[in-house]
Amino acid sequence: MRVKAIALRLLGVAATIPVLDGISLFILNLYRRLRGKAQVAYVERQLVEALPAMPDTALYGALVELNAIDGVRAMSADFIERLGADATNAPVMKLIAHARQELGSNVDLRRAAGEGSLLVRLEAAWNSFQTGERATALESLRALLSDEALFRHARRNAYFRDAVVRSVEIVGADLERSGDLETALGLYHRIAIGGTGGAIERRLALLFLRMGRIAEAAMWAEQAIRPDRYLGSQSVIYKAHLEHVARTLTAASTGSEHG
Each residue's pLDDT, cut to its tens digit, for the chain (259 residues) gives 454 555 555 555 555 555 555 666 666 666 666 666 666 665 555 556 667 788 998 999 899 889 989 988 889 999 999 988 888 888 889 889 898 888 888 888 889 999 999 999 999 999 999 888 999 999 999 999 998 888 888 877 778 888 888 899 999 999 999 999 999 999 998 888 655 557 788 889 999 999 999 999 998 888 777 655 554 455 555 667 777 888 888 887 776 555 5
The pLDDT, as a whole number, for residue 168 is 92
Dihedral class, residue 258 (left if φ above 0, else alpha if ψ from -120 to 50, else beta): alpha
Query: Using CB atoms within 10 A of its CB, is residue 24 exposed (0-12), middle (13-18) or buried (19+)?
Result: buried
Q: What is the pTM of this model?
A: 0.73
Which pLDDT does position 232 carry in this prediction? 47
Cβ atoms 61, 84 nearer than 8 A = no
Cβ atoms of residues 123 and 152 within 8 Å: no
Q: Which helix (H) or strand (E) holds 46?
A: strand 46-49
d(CA 10, CA 190): 35
Domain assignments of the chain as residue spans, ordered by start: 2-37, 57-194
Q: What is the pLDDT of residue 226?
A: 67
Residue 40 belongs to what H/E stretch?
strand 40-43
pLDDT at 171: 95
In this structure, how many other beta carbons lie within 10 angstroms of the beta carbon of residue 70?
19
